[in-house]
Each structure stands twice: as C-alpha cells, then as structure tokens.
C-alpha cells in the first residue's frame, strides 16, 4: 500500500480553537481522521503528524522513503524556513503544500512561501478541504502517473 505522509507544522495542534474565524472549528484530530478514512477508501495508507519543532520536521521529511507522497502545511515556517525548502529538495518525494487560509489575502508577510519552489504545487484557502483536495490529487497521481523508468520514484 502506498504511504501518504501528512505533516502539520508549528501551531497546527491548536486547530479547532485557534482563530476559528480564519482556520475553522475542526480539530486536528478530526481532520486527521477524515484523511485516514479517505486514504483507506482509496487503498492508501495515510500517516499524519504534527510538530512545533522545525528540526523534527526536517528529520521527518528527510526520513521519508522515495515511494511516499508528502502533503505539508508548514504553518508559519512557510514564510521563513529555508531549512524546510532544502529538506523537501533533498528527498525524492513529491510534496504538495497546503494552507487552510488564503495566504495571499492576509498580512503581507504571509503572501510569500519560501517552500513553494520545492513543492509540486500549492492549495491555499479552502479550509480543511485544502487537505482533502491534496489527498484527492495524491490518489489521482498514484493512479495515473506515468512511470519514469525509475522504480524508486513511483508510488506503488
């Protein structure tokens, strides 16, 4: 079974109670459960983790195996962390950046993502649906991706 890794960055453990007008009322646990169930329905093993420690996030990303697919919400590290950019670039794992809020419609500092250039794409502003759509993409990616001849880069 393919492994889809969903990594939530700094402060996302507060989901559900943190600025609900911006981030919504769904807790991180509820969101993770939805993703795990959706994965199971599509024969995908979804593993969700959250950390407030940047180095730990780097360790998780660089510890992924090439067959994985990464869905990543770096939280505020989105706007600051060249270390996460390098970590994503350093592994042969497609990463999709997600945000609950529309980072382009908020404070100016949020409108720039330093990790975007290391990711295959970005989904921003759809609340928890940003994650569900990212997972839907991972499902399609797995089904329809053309093999490149390098078995290690294919999701199986």
Q: Which residues bind ligand DQA (CB under 6 A)?
A: 11, 73, 75-76, 78, 99-101, 103, 110
Q: Which residue, 97 or 155, has its beta carbon nearer to ligand DQA?
A: 97
One DSSP character per residue, 60-91 reads HHHT--TT-EEEEE-GGGGGT-HHHHHHHHHS
99 is an active site residue: yes
One DSSP character per residue, 21-47 reads HHH-S--HHHHHHHHHHHHHHTTEEEE
82 is an active site residue: no
* Residue in 13, 99, 104, 112 annotated catalytic: 99
Minimum gap (Å) between residue 39 Cβ and ligand DQA: 20
* Residue in 13, 23, 79, 104 annotated catalytic: 23
What amino acid positions are annotated as catalytic residues?
23, 99
């Amino acid at each position: 079974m393919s492994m889809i890794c969903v990594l939530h960055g700094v402060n996302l453990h507060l989901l559900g109670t943190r600025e609900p007008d911006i981030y919504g009322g769904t807790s991180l646990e509820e969101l993770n459960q939805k993703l795990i169930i959706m994965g199971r329905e599509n024969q995908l093993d979804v593993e969700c983790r959250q950390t407030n420690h940047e180095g730990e996030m780097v360790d998780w990303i660089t510890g992924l195996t090439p067959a994985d697919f990464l869905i990543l919400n770096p939280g505020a590290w989105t706007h600051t962390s060249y270390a996460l950019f390098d970590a994503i670039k350093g592994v042969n794992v497609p990463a999709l950046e997600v945000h609950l809020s529309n980072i382009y419609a908020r404070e100016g500092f949020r409108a720039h993502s330093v990790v975007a250039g290391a990711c295959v794409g970005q989904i921003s502003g759809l609340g928890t649906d940003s994650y569900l759509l990212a997972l839907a993409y991972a499902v399609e990616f797995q089904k329809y991706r053309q093999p490149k001849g390098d078995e290690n880069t294919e999701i199986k």
